[in-house]
Structure 1
């Protein structure tokens, strides 16, 4: 792998007002204070825009951070950003997220996840024109949803993922294929990251743990599938961005094969916890931390607000990531306990919503 030094570099982060994007920017400045970050986000209303503004406001304190409102599907804008700022590292987190939303709003996924990603790849390709150094590393978000209804766990990047069960998953698998083709054709070092469930302060309201919280606050009952015997891979956001930054700093090598032609400098990793948590335990700890943060009253009866129900069709009892490759290549291992992470989430929820 080639070392990519982030100091004094210009880094483009797309989807910068998103949950992982905004936390990544903080981590970049912690790690490489001399870096310049250009952030782009279309600020769409898929979920509460106030939450996106709240995250962006926290980034305004960095003097070398520039925010641009716009869509990566706007080719002219992307071409202009690359020619003006000449980013050395590109992190593409802009995407229409969510599996269920893709069933009713497919256009949004094609526009952002396919056309938008194509524009980023094209801009990376042309960054080498006229002998320029260009982009040293493209890091982009894929998703654990590419595994579809795979029965084998843990999910490994060696598994075949040719049977997506949602358009969202299909667009993410397409990103990996497009990146591979561009890496091969134009020698663009690229690394895809298949994210598993990420949680933490100011997280995405469409995520299950956020939905659980909203329901508990309203005194509604939450359904826990498979009678509580579901296990999921939950990773705290600080652990995730630590993993992303390590990946950014090591790009797949550019080298030639036996035929003298370039081998694609391309890699894909799972990024998660490799430590599946029982959903019932997760919600139990969440309710305790919400009481501690005064989001729920002290005498809150969690037992009365949970309903254990059978499995949903199409759901799998256990999903988690095989992250051994990430540990091997980057020494990455998440370290935040579930209680610590949920405590920080509960405290932020109290601040933002109360």
Structure 2
């Protein structure tokens, strides 16, 4: 019965851990449609990690050094697959040039490293490649998590990889400083190697947990987004727009600033659906949502109120300025019609404008005045702006508009 050193036992434990995780990611791929490609990449990453560790344990026996070359290639390939899985998860594919260079360098190092005289160079180049990959994957994870998922704690995701990059970087440096002893140190059953192996066991598990946390967090973010944003236009849905109105009412009461509301309705929208089809109607709504968002300040809130009706909340904006904004939106919509099947789809909007009148003014009254103004715009011929005068506004501070 073969006997294993403490270091080899530790590596085999990590290999078993990675096998279990590989099956876990395969199961996840079957259940998570949106993250399937990433999960398959991460399953392959775990499997290649397990294979590399088993090959490393076997290759320390005399006469089978070529297996060590395969172990080195597998561990480098595993991190390449890991990074491509991260790119798949965040839908940011990159060219193969970077990974091709890393794999070519690792392959050349392992091939020439079969000669014992080149062993130190093999350790230095492969360890350097692993360090670069760890740091690159860690950087990508934290950057994309913060940018795409708005995670303030995104940098935490990179900690296990940064630790791995540091360990491999130190090993590469050690190979350059002490080339005569590094090969023996790598395979020795020393307390340092045993500690490193068990540390890798913990780091590998923690890193896999960060991947799971990434998947779960994205699910939470998407559920939150689905509960607040309209699926067709990407604007606030009615519930979120109502919350924005209530928040603005409280803010304006506290600061004594005015705010105005625009109610917007696409003219003759039913005829677009009837004549050109619902797909054309959907395209028109998407186009209108994009136009509205592009004309607003960062502090403004734009939502789809229902059907072909939209709402814009303008903080710090009195009635006269809100009317100017509404007229600009009307002109912009008429001048830039949506296109469907290579043809322009004529589209105009009617707008009703109302201003919050002060502390005694409630949202229901404000919205009623905005609706009345909108209905008057449609009754007076459409493609126009109508203003419902607010009831005796108090002295209110005004914010600049775009």
Higher relative contact order, chain-length normalized (CA < 8 Å, sep 6+): 1
Q: Tell me, yes or no, whether TM beats 0.5.
A: no
Structure (1 or 2) with the larger CA radius of gyration = 2
Identify the structure with the greater helix proportion: 2
- TM superposition score normalised by structure 1: 0.25
- TM superposition score normalised by structure 2: 0.23
